[in-house]
Amino acid sequence: MDGKARILVFGFTGEEQRRIDEGLAGLGVPAAVRLRPGQASVTLRDILEGGQDGPGEAGQLTAPEPLVLFHNVSDGGVQFLMRFFREASGRRPIFAVVTPASIEWTLAELLGHLQAERAALEAGR
């Protein structure tokens, strides 16, 4: 796998995605890769390498909050882009950086873990 910086997104509305795409283009940042519900059983590694949908899973994955994943993006870039995504979408997405461990997780596993983590933080645990 190459070390190319990538932004992956899931769960934004069409209008939010349009604003995000336009904003990133205006910043000179490559377009974000849109994750699809059918990729629920596909690992992040396979997605980053161009993986397709998993077998029979189209439409199976949903998210109450949008997700933004950063792969090989500098710390400063992540901080800047987090502000950008909040402003462009008008919402509070879940942000995460792809790690050596999480790259082997499926999209569904990662999303479930991140949603549980956010719920725990909001509950004050």
Q: Name beta bridge partners: 95.
A: 68
CA distance 48 to 14: 22
Domain membership of residue 29 (yes or no) is yes
The total domain count for the chain is 1
- Quote the radius of gyration of the chain (alpha carbons, Å): 14
Answer whether 0.75 is exceeded by the pTM. yes
> Domain range holding 18?
6-122
Domain membership of residue 1 (yes or no) is no
Checking if the pLDDT of 56 tops 60, the result is: no
Domain membership of residue 118 (yes or no) is yes
State the CATH number of the domain containing residue 97.
3.30.429
Domain membership of residue 75 (yes or no) is yes
Encode pLDDT of 32-41 as tens digits: 999 988 898 9
Domain membership of residue 50 (yes or no) is yes
